[in-house]
Structure 1
Amino acid sequence: MKHLRSKLLATVVALPLATAALAETPDGVLVVAQNIDDIVALDPAQAYEFTSGEIVTNVYDRLAQYDAEDPTELAPGLAESWEIDEEAKSITFTLRDGAVFHSGNPVRAEDVVFSLSRVIQLNLTPAFILAQLGWTPENVGDMVVADGNTVTITYEGDFSPAFVMNVLASRPASIVDELTVMENEVDGDMGNAWLNENSAGSGPFSMDTYRPAEIVRLTANEDYFKDGPNVDSVILRHVAEAATQQLLLEQGDVDMARNLTPDQISSIESDEITVETYPQAAVHFLSFNQKTDSLTDPAVWEAARYLVDYEGMTNSIIDGQMEIHQAFWPKGFPGSYDETPYTYDPEMAAQILEDAGVELPIQVSLDVINSAPFTDMAQSLQASFAEAGIEFEILPGTGAQVITKYRERTHEAMLLYWGPDFMDPHSNAKAFAYNSDNSDDNYQATTTWRNAWAVPDEMNEETMAALTEPDPETRLEMYVDLQQKVQENSPIIIMFQASYQVAMDADVSGYVNGATSDFVYYRLVEK
């Protein structure tokens, strides 16, 4: 059943959240148990949390967007087509006919101009993503211009059009209904306070209910310009405890549990519940600070790649949470390099060190976040590296302590992870393959600078060339080449890519969970 009467939806929402009736959820209503207390903001110009990203993606559209049919392919959104003028550094978007906001207002070119300019004017957390295009509060009015049903976007900088398109497909580039938003402006906030509790989008769902740390209810947009939604409503129930999520799923009170632990996943025996695993964008790595003399020999870097017990960890302590991946751009997106040539081989590692004349043993401190699975991973590395004479002293600390030390370049070895700010390969290439100024006073939020690795000039040049390369296929080939080079010869040993497991009723299908929270889609769900 695609559409359910509002009376039934109201009944579902009215169920006491702690004592919901022990029965199957209604047809047409997807009920999700999830920890949603991370939400700080829901305005696309401010939203920067995981759950916020999921909601924005399902409520708003962008000119071009990654979508449920294929989260790896940039597809038309509110724009049906676009023309790129590389010489003028501009892209002209033609809006599709008939798209409407949830209010019933038509989607206009003026709404696009307002939405993008609004992000820059408000200058909240995610504004830096759009500001990369050279936009400022003073010039954005000239850089984003409407003409009839077209919008021309101009950018400053030597960027590949593919990079610009990925920036425009990011969360803060979501299009809001100017008329509705400005009706709810208070004290010049451009509707920010109102949008953090309400929605004004054109996406497959509208947000009907939001009670912090309690519930979010999304209702199907029957006038959506693409297929679906196939359910009438999605209800996100805040359930903080993973054990409670599992119990509710097994009792039939929810259709999906989003935050189960690996132990709970492995304990599920019911044929009525399926578990799906989705690769995520974060990559996990071990890195060596090049301020530590004993860690500067490339032979140490090479040997390290054979001293990680990749399969041992993925088959035990990180089972279901990570998969083997040895390149800086995550699998599942254009430009990824998915070859994994390194395996645990301590004899090979010992031979590499011996042939290079490396003096052993090497004693090195390893900083790690003091929580599972990171401390377990550190202990695995400690045991496997000792096989070749590299002795780790594990230094556990809070996330803040570890990251602060990393930013100050005062660590020796570091076990951490990295995720892109937006889904373009340059976001990670700049972090792993670029460092043109390695001086202490040139702080950079990259793994290369933080590990004091002076990246070879050739690699720096290729990274910047890929950013400006106009041909999309050639550009992706350049990023693959960069990944191969970093994989073969750098003090950063990329080991794993995060995975995310979701348990759901066996009758649920069509759920899509891409590599980031911005790529969680409910539009094609059926039950």
Structure 2
Amino acid sequence: MLKALKYALLAATLASSMPLAAYAATPADTLVIAKQIDDLISLDPAEAYELSGIEVLANAYDRIMRFEPTDVNTLVGGVAESVTVSDDGRTFTFKIRAGQTFASGNPITAADAAFSLQRVIKLEKTPVFLLSQLGWSKDNVDTMVTAPDASTLVVTIGVDFAPSLVYALLGSVVGSVVDSKLAMEHETDGDFGYAWLKTNSAGSGAYVVRSWTPNESVVLEANPNYRGGAANLKRVILQHVPEASAQRLLLEKGDVDIARNLTPDQIAAIAGNADIKVTSIPEALLYYVGLNQNTKELQDPRVRQALRYLVDYDGMANSFLKGSAQVHQSFWATGFWASYDENPYTFDPAKAKELLAAAGYPDGFSLDLDAPNFAPFTNLAQTVQATFAEGGVKVNIVSSEMAPMLTKYRARGHQALMVYWGPDYMDPHTNADGFVTNTDNTDAATGGKPLAWRNSWDSPELTAMTAAAAKERDEATRKQMYIDLQKKVLDEGPYIIRFQSTSQRAERANVEGFVQGSSSDIVYYNLTTK
């Protein structure tokens, strides 16, 4: 009955947004995507921080800078067509493309770009840290981000950062350029249009948000003013279908064009269906275990190394994770600039026992492992429990919903904790900062509380190395600094990084041109045909 109701809801959504004939296939001018979108909480670029919201905004807004869709290591112009950097590396002057318009028809000017960056700082929503790390605050952003004329955006930063890092930040979701005139027409009590933009769009991307019904659907329609030309399909519908089994059935029936959350077993089951094809895309998402250094048994680096030898990486990758993950042991995902792709740890209980004995634990010890109570974490946790036992480490699995588990993690209440991590922007500094930086290891520390703090790991040497890498302007030197950091964290850090996620997208055989990169920032609908 529940599945029947969900199919009825999907049909109702489609019917409400277009005329339909029969349901043997989706309409020719519409792309229907089944995926989990319950993480979507806002469509304002100053607030959106979840994967689904960022994906929608990547299609509804152009940004100051853009990544090449098929090459995440290459930044290209967005609203800006060029940039010059001052000799001291602190002033960036962007030339705004001429002749661009928003979906509303309003011209895009440097003032819109400045307004967009300023409102991120002034609204102080979750992703504000992406720009505040440039030395911007409510008090100074109006002088540090200016538009001296309609085609010139001048950005001054208050820190020494590599230009490539600054570009990556301006190429993230907070670099989305908002139609200031349209936003301010909807301003309420000095909110810069925030209340309206939570559920609407004011951008110049390939699509315009026409409706969003939380936990049901998002409907986008093509923007005729898009600088890249009109999208191939007039309409895109993101339909919230939480159950992977329901996504599969809808795809097989032709009621959706793409299913984004099928399990490896379901992918294998549709392999012989000539009407469906599967595409695998390496993602930047990493699966890891955090080892709290407040736990006495985990403080010796030899113990942490031993635990890495008690993980059956290949066994999991080739069984229940098959096709959905690849072994990766460093903090920056493979395929990205400056990634370290060696995986030195293998499943070796004998080596683990030697290290544990040398650290004073010849008989092992007991360890609580927090893990989310859903796939693939349930299987991951149970497998780790079994393989750790081969080294004498008795694992007690503490299974819970993600939200309370993360609350516990942020309070450093765990011993070991299994979760995933994805980058906030496409530069290695985002993960280096999270996995390494810890400038205040006290319980009273304020700020973002990065992963190093959550795991009570304080390495002044590596924190300094991370800060130095962010400042380095020679790209070859900077790349090597991040590779060296990854090697050190792999040897010394409080993490067991195990896998890099692979997204498996199933789509009808007639679907072509869907662009899906390694993050939700790089998913574009406008080139899709069917």
Aligned-residue offset at 1:499? 2.5
3-state SS of the aligned residue for 2:290?
strand
Q: Which residue of 2 aligns with 1:32?
A: 33
CA distance, structure 2, for counterparts of residue 308 and residue 228 of structure 1: 49
1:327 aligns with 2:330: yes
Q: Which residue of 2 aligns with 1:450?
A: 454
Aligned-residue offset at 1:248? 1.8
2:437 to 434, 437, 443: 434
Instruction: Give 1:177's aligned amino acid.
Output: D
1:225 aligns with 2:248: no
Q: Which residue of 1 aligns with 2:133?
A: 132
Distance change in 2, residues 1:139/1:421 (3 Å): same
Aligned-residue offset at 1:85? 1.5
Aligned-residue offset at 1:58? 0.4
C-alpha distance after superposition, 1:125-176 (max 9, x if no partner): 2223222222222221101111221110011122222222211111122101
Instruction: Give 2:141's aligned amino acid.
Output: V
3-state SS of the aligned residue for 2:114?
helix
| Root mean square deviation of aligned Cα | 2.5
Aligned-residue offset at 1:88? 5.8
Distance change in 2, residues 1:187/1:388 (3 Å): closer
Q: Which residue of 2 aligns with 1:59?
A: 60
> Where do 4+ consecutive residues of structure 1 move more than 4 Å?
354-358
CA distance, structure 2, for counterparts of residue 288 and residue 211 of structure 1: 40
CA distance, structure 2, for counterparts of residue 113 and residue 122 of structure 1: 14
Correspondences of 1:75-474 after superposition (within 5 Å): 75-87=76-88, 89-148=90-149, 149-226=151-228, 229-268=231-270, 269-354=272-357, 358-442=361-445, 445-455=449-459, 457-474=460-477
Distance change in 2, residues 1:490/1:34 (3 Å): closer
Distance change in 2, residues 1:270/1:88 (3 Å): closer
Q: Is the 1:249–1:504 contact (alpha carbons within 8 Å) kept by the matching residues of 2?
A: yes
Instruction: Give 1:347's aligned amino acid.
Output: A
Mean CA deviation greater in 507-516 or 20-29: 20-29
Q: Is the 2:89–2:163 contact (alpha carbons within 8 Å) kept by the matching residues of 1?
A: no
Mean CA deviation greater in 77-86 or 390-399: 390-399
Instruction: Give 1:188's aligned amino acid.
Output: G
Aligned-residue offset at 1:358? 4.2
CA distance, structure 1, for counterparts of residue 382 and residue 357 of structure 2: 25
Distance change in 2, residues 1:363/1:162 (3 Å): same
Distance change in 2, residues 1:375/1:79 (3 Å): same
CA distance, structure 2, for counterparts of residue 130 and residue 394 of structure 1: 38
Aligned-residue offset at 1:378? 1.6
CA distance, structure 2, for counterparts of residue 184 and residue 20 of structure 1: 37
Instruction: Give 2:180's aligned amino acid.
Output: E
Instruction: Give 1:210's aligned amino acid.
Output: W
Aligned-residue offset at 1:296? 2.2
Aligned-residue offset at 1:22? 2.4
Mean CA deviation greater in 320-329 or 179-188: 179-188
Q: Is the 1:33–1:257 contact (alpha carbons within 8 Å) kept by the matching residues of 2?
A: yes
CA distance, structure 1, for counterparts of residue 294 and residue 40 of structure 2: 39
Distance change in 2, residues 1:195/1:483 (3 Å): same
CA distance, structure 2, for counterparts of residue 238 and residue 398 of structure 1: 20
C-alpha distance after superposition, 1:61-114 (max 9, x if no partner): 111112424333211101110011251611000011221111222211111111
Mean CA deviation greater in 304-313 or 85-94: 85-94
Aligned-residue offset at 1:20? 8.6
Aligned-residue offset at 1:213? 3.7
Aligned-residue offset at 1:13? 4.3
CA distance, structure 2, for counterparts of residue 50 and residue 513 of structure 1: 13
Instruction: Give 1:87's aligned amino acid.
Output: D
Percent identity between matched residues is: 47
Q: Is the 1:177–1:200 contact (alpha carbons within 8 Å) kept by the matching residues of 2?
A: yes
3-state SS of the aligned residue for 1:126?
helix
Instruction: Give 1:217's aligned amino acid.
Output: V
Instruction: Give 1:193's aligned amino acid.
Output: A
Q: Is the 1:21–1:253 contact (alpha carbons within 8 Å) kept by the matching residues of 2?
A: no
Q: Which runs of 5+ in 2 are unaligned?
A: 1-11
Instruction: Give 1:405's aligned amino acid.
Output: K
In the alignment of these two chains, the number of paired residues is 515
CA distance, structure 2, for counterparts of residue 383 and residue 249 of structure 1: 37
Instruction: Give 1:82's aligned amino acid.
Output: V
Q: Is the 1:86–1:161 contact (alpha carbons within 8 Å) kept by the matching residues of 2?
A: no
Distance change in 2, residues 1:243/1:113 (3 Å): same
Distance change in 2, residues 1:410/1:105 (3 Å): closer
Distance change in 2, residues 1:227/1:472 (3 Å): farther
CA distance, structure 2, for counterparts of residue 301 and residue 212 of structure 1: 43
Mean CA deviation greater in 107-116 or 404-413: 404-413
Distance change in 2, residues 1:215/1:499 (3 Å): same
Q: Which residue of 2 aligns with 1:41?
A: 42
Q: Is the 2:105–2:225 contact (alpha carbons within 8 Å) kept by the matching residues of 1?
A: no
Aligned-residue offset at 1:384? 1.1
Instruction: Give 2:222's aligned amino acid.
Output: A
CA distance, structure 2, for counterparts of residue 253 and residue 191 of structure 1: 36
Q: Is the 1:15–1:21 contact (alpha carbons within 8 Å) kept by the matching residues of 2?
A: no
1:524 to 508, 517, 527: 527
CA distance, structure 2, for counterparts of residue 407 and residue 424 of structure 1: 24
Instruction: Give 1:66's aligned amino acid.
Output: F
C-alpha distance after superposition, 1:301-339 (max 9, x if no partner): 222222110111122233343321101012232222122
CA distance, structure 2, for counterparts of residue 264 and residue 28 of structure 1: 28
Mean CA deviation greater in 498-507 or 285-294: 285-294
Instruction: Give 1:257's aligned amino acid.
Output: A
CA distance, structure 2, for counterparts of residue 239 and residue 396 of structure 1: 24
Aligned-residue offset at 1:357? 5.7
CA distance, structure 2, for counterparts of residue 412 and residue 195 of structure 1: 41
Aligned-residue offset at 1:354? 4.4
3-state SS of the aligned residue for 2:119?
helix
Mean CA deviation greater in 202-211 or 457-466: 202-211
TM-score (norm 2): 0.90
CA distance, structure 2, for counterparts of residue 303 and residue 227 of structure 1: 55
3-state SS of the aligned residue for 1:113?
helix
Distance change in 2, residues 1:167/1:75 (3 Å): same
Q: Is the 1:292–1:412 contact (alpha carbons within 8 Å) kept by the matching residues of 2?
A: yes
Correspondences of 1:14-25 after superposition (within 5 Å): 14=15, 21-25=22-26
Instruction: Give 1:317's aligned amino acid.
Output: F
CA distance, structure 2, for counterparts of residue 277 and residue 106 of structure 1: 39
3-state SS of the aligned residue for 1:248?
helix
